[in-house]
Amino acid sequence: MSDDARFGLARRVTLPGPFALDGGAVLASVDIAYESYGALNADASNAILICHALTGDHHVASVHPRTGKPGWWTRMVGVGKPIDPARHFIVCANVLGSCMGSSGPASIDPATGAPYAMRFPVITLRDMARAQALLMDHLGVGTLLAAVGGSMGGMQVLEWAATFPERVRSAVVIASAARHSAQNIAFHEVGRQAIMADPNWRDGNYYAPDDAPPTAGLAVARMAAHITYLSEAGLTEKFGRKLQARSTKSFGFDADFQVESYLRHQGLSFTDRFDANSYLYITRAMDYFDLAEEHGGRLANAFAGSRTRFCLVSFDSDWLYPTSESRAIVHALNAAGAAASFVELSSPFGHDAFLLDVPELNRVVDGFLRAGEA
């Protein structure tokens, strides 16, 4: 196996349409940026699709070209790790609507020769899964050994299992849910309004070379969202009420507290790698997600007759997608007669635990995947 195949190869492919979307619009073609690791075996039975979260991308285990930082899931993906390029053909695709090479609002509209901006059609998570299925067809993968994802990635895995049940042997859904709650939608709306209130947003038309993008609004959106990814205990342990680089309060509105400085840094650094319009589109797709609604109002219907093996994982400190959301999926799987295993893991990290150092998560995923390979 070559080093390129083992450690990651980034590509972008244009897949011919027409590609019909849930909202009724049609794309003439679809661009998908993706990375692959490892090699497809002779009978194409070792493919694992990794689905990324809201602000993630396809650089799952390689250096990010914009930030220079390691891939976002190097704890899970790599030689000797649960998802292993020595055993698996691993693919991670940038989702439809994003800004790292796949078709989205920053893409060129062939009808006008200019970026789509807000003329790009609203998309759904099922649209994302369908685009990924086209990519798998292109790569010669008929059936996935497994689809794996956390947060919004887990929602895409659920869409795969419901929309293409015959194509998914195993599904790993981590820190996720089968629909977006009112609270989830509310947090997203705060972020969208922050972006749209930025005078540089200009109704989404900020792609000209001399235009300043709405970085202030996007930074605030990221700050608000980032709070939901953490836990109160984690924030208290890490920051408490400690002051930032000072011994006394300033009696002003600078970042007096370390937690304020941390959030500002998270917001500003996010604007270097993400597009504000993509944030609008992807959060809207998440808010529209309701797997039961897509299947007659009963979640079990989404998994009726499924032969897919499911592994559900939640974290006890995750209040964004709490354990009750995973249990609801497990109950639906049980009602449908599907094979399901479930575990709640303990972690102080909140929702972001699936991205951080939780060794027990690696053991769970590794054991589940190996059982499916036997």
> Which one of 62, 102, 107, 151 is the catalytic residue?
151
In sequence order, what are the beta bridge partners of 341? 311
Q: Which long-range contacts (CB under 8 A, 24 or more apart) does 212-217 make?
A: 213/271, 213/275, 213/276, 214/276, 215/268, 215/271, 215/276, 217/276
Distance, C-alpha 63 to centroid of its chain: 18
Cβ neighbors of 113 (< 8 A, separation 6 or more) are none
Q: How far apart (Å, rounded) are the C-alpha atoms in residues 303 and 196?
A: 38
- 146 CA to centre of own chain: 16
Structure tokens at 289: 């997600």
Cα gap 332→325, rounded to integer Å: 11
Our answer to whether residue 151 is catalytic in this structure is: yes
Alpha carbon distances (Å) from 206 to 30, 192, 209, 210, 276: 23, 16, 8, 9, 10
Degrees, nearest 5: CA angle 64-70-73: 105
Q: Is 318 a catalytic residue?
A: yes
Catalytically annotated residue among 318, 326, 347, 352? 318
- Output the DSSP codes for 361-374: HHHHHHHHHHHHH-
CA-closest candidate to residue 310, choices 154, 198, 189, 134: 154
Q: Can you say whether residue 251 is alpha, beta or left, with left for phi > 0 and alpha for psi between -120 and 50 degrees?
A: left
Selected catalytic residue, list 59, 88, 180, 351:
351
CA distance 333 to 75: 28
Is 3 designated active site? no
Amino acid at site 271: T
Q: At what angle are helices 276-288 and 152-163 packed, to 10 degrees?
A: 50
Give kind and range of the element (H or E) at residue 290. none
Q: What is residue 121's DSSP assignment?
A: P
Q: List residues with catalytic annotation.
A: 151, 318, 351
